[in-house]
């Protein structure tokens, strides 16, 4: 049997592309596929296109992104122009979604790309983009298309993860970290993913069956003491999901939205979150690093928020709309997850959220509440679901955090101790 150390870089990269298409997006024969990719990741994007056609795709196309172009705009464009968006970029997503197709995104950017840019410029653009993109985002939040998000190295990001190395060495080190985190370095990564997804399925089903009224997070040197009420009739997600019918498209496609993924998550109750929570890892948001986050909730709403770095960006994020003052996700991740064990900080939420339990400011996924996909906004809110233009995960878990499940009668059951599942 071939060991992971004996696999060539080219084989690992092909494994990664195959995982993205087969396990991630779950591309079906006859589907259209849109790949969103930074220009630096072209070799991977091309392999994904090849893998999509091998899976039976009828048409696979790529929409290219470029950090340098993005940065130039925010540095040089005149004030008052940042609500202008390229609608065709969003329209491409909707066109594929409405045709019953699949969207795959490679997210690779300098985590602090816009750190020196006026936060108001970035906020104005993000609000305009999120508003126009909302119909597509609603499809994502309701599992009405099979989609997938992955990442790949670029020199600026790799250099931040591995300071002191040459660009070439840092990129190679980052590839090794990504291949390990995604199991692409294993001789049979597809089989490894099927086994992993089965574990996540068992965990999410157990927690759904418990129907805890709330979760209590306590620890981190006394900095965190947070009670997160859970939405009525909540459902835990984790690992793979199945698409829902939409606009004549029958649904029923199994996909895994994030590779890697180590979490199980559900919807908090928008009005029943109380206490204080501190971040355990930095957050890279809209090209700005935010560190040392401390937030206090009362009645589900953020009433105090501070950060050691990136305070203005944090506040802009919270002030996106009314829903961004509340939570839309609570997720549990064991401290022993492969990404946590690596000891690496990725400066990328896709990876870092799978190293630690986390919460998300903003919109809840409708499929995390029984019947939520079909509910109107009023009914969804009555169950505790939150709506917003944004959804931002940030990490609150560590080996110093305990989590209890609280039932309606006030009795408790240990869920995690020192960052590990005990339920």
Separation in Å, CA 328 to CA 299, 357, 369, 384, 387 = 14, 14, 11, 9, 8
pLDDT of residue 258: 97
CA distance 336 to 243: 30
Residue bearing tokens 């809840």? 364
pLDDT of residue 218: 98
pLDDT digits (tens, 9 = 90+) for 105-163: 999 999 999 999 999 999 999 999 999 999 999 999 999 999 999 999 999 999 999 99
Asked if pLDDT for residue 4 goes beyond 80, the answer is no
The DSSP 8-state label assigned to residue 365 in this structure reads P
Query: How many other β-carbons are positioned within 10 Å of the β-carbon of residue 9?
Result: 12
pLDDT of residue 248: 84
Structure tokens at 16: 């990664």
State residue 222 phi and psi, 5-degree precision. 85, 0
**Domains of the chain, each with CATH number or no CATH:** 4-182 (3.40.1830.10), 211-235+262-421 (no CATH)
Mean pLDDT (the chain, rounded): 96
Give 160's contacts (C-beta < 8 A, 6+ positions apart). Answer: 110, 111, 112, 347
- State the pLDDT confidence band at 192, using cuts at 50, 70 and 90: very high
Residue bearing tokens 């589907």? 31
pLDDT of residue 1: 42
Preceding omega of 202 cis (within 30 degrees of 0): no
Do the Cβ atoms of 7 and 185 come closer than 8 Å? yes
Q: What order of strands is seen across the sheet that includes strand 146-150?
A: 59-65, 32-38, 102-106, 146-150
Angle at 355 between CA 354 and CA 357, to 5 degrees: 80
pLDDT digits (tens, 9 = 90+) for 282-324: 999 988 999 999 999 999 999 999 999 999 999 999 999 999 9
């Amino acid at each position: 049997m071939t060991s992971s150390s004996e696999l060539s870089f080219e084989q690992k990269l092909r494994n990664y592309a195959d995982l993205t298409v087969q396990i991630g997006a779950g591309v079906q024969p006859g589907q259209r596929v849109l790949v969103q990719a930074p220009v630096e990741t072209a070799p991977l994007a091309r392999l994904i296109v090849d893998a999509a056609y091998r899976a039976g795709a009828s048409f696979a196309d790529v929409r290219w992104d470029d950090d340098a172009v993005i940065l130039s705009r925010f540095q040089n464009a005149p004030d008052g122009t940042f609500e202008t968006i390229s609608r065709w970029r969003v329209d491409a997503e909707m066109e594929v979604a409405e045709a019953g197709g699949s969207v795959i995104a490679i997210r690779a950017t300098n985590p602090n790309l816009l750190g020196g840019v006026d936060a108001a410029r970035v906020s104005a653009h993000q609000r305009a983009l999120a508003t126009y993109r909302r119909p597509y985002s609603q499809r994502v939040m309701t599992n009405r298309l099979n989609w997938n998000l992955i990442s790949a190295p670029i020199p600026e990001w790799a250099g931040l993860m591995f300071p002191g190395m040459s660009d070439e060495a840092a990129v190679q080190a980052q590839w090794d970290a990504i291949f390990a985190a995604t199991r692409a370095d294993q001789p049979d990564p597809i089989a490894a993913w099927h086994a992993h997804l089965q574990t996540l399925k068992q965990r999410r089903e157990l927690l759904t069956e418990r129907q805890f009224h709330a979760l209590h997070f306590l620890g981190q040197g006394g900095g965190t003491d947070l009670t997160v009420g859970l939405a009525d009739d909540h459902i835990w997600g984790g690992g793979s999901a199945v698409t829902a019918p939409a606009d004549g498209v029958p649904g029923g496609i199994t996909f895994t939205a994030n590779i890697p993924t180590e979490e199980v998550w559900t919807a908090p109750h928008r009005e029943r979150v109380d206490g204080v929570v501190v971040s355990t890892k930095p957050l890279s948001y809209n090209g700005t690093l935010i560190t040392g986050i401390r937030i206090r909730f009362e009645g589900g709403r953020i009433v105090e928020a501070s950060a050691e770095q990136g305070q203005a960006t944090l506040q802009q994020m919270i002030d996106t709309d009314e829903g961004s003052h509340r939570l839309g996700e609570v997720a549990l991740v064991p401290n022993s997850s492969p990404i946590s064990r690596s000891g690496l900080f990725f400066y990328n939420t896709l990876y870092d959220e799978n190293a630690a339990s986390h919460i998300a400011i903003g919109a809840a996924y409708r499929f995390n509440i029984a019947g939520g996909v079909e509910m109107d906004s009023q009914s969804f809110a009555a169950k505790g679901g939150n709506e917003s233009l944004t959804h931002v995960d940030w990490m609150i878990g560590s080996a110093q955090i305990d989590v209890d499940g609280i039932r309606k009668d006030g009795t408790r059951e240990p869920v995690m101790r020192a960052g590990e599942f005990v339920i």
